[in-house]
């Protein structure tokens, strides 16, 4: 008995649903990150030292990007089994049909 490949048995998540899930997850990530960053900023070592405070705010302000990158990549990835046509190829395809 031949079993179908896993990719053919698993249905891909529709792009709209994937973007909705990713948007909600990004929103939650930013809120949680901001609350944790504000709490850590109140530690006496950070609060009392100006240079350490500036460095902390730069790192904490940009730090949420690192966990967000894989999530955004997942959100914009083409569905499983799609042909992956880039914009220039689709323009060429449309212009050749109009001739």
- What percent of the chain is modeled with pLDDT above 70? 69
CA 68, CA 28: separation in Å to the nearest integer? 11
pTM (two decimals): 0.65
pLDDT in tens, 12-63: 889 899 999 999 999 999 999 999 999 999 999 999 999 999 999 999 999 9
Residue 91 reports pLDDT greater than 50: no
**Residue 10: half-sphere exposure toward Cβ, Cα within 13 Å:** 8
């Amino acid at each position: 008995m031949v079993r179908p490949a896993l990719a053919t048995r698993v249905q891909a998540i529709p792009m709209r649903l994937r973007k909705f899930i990713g948007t909600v997850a990004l929103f939650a990530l930013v809120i949680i990150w901001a609350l944790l960053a504000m709490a850590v900023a109140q530690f006496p070592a950070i609060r009392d030292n100006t240079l350490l405070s500036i460095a902390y705010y730069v790192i904490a302000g940009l730090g949420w990007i690192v966990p967000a990158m894989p999530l955004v990549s997942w959100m914009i990835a083409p569905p499983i089994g799609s042909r992956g046509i880039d914009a220039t190829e689709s323009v060429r395809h449309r212009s050749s049909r109009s001739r």
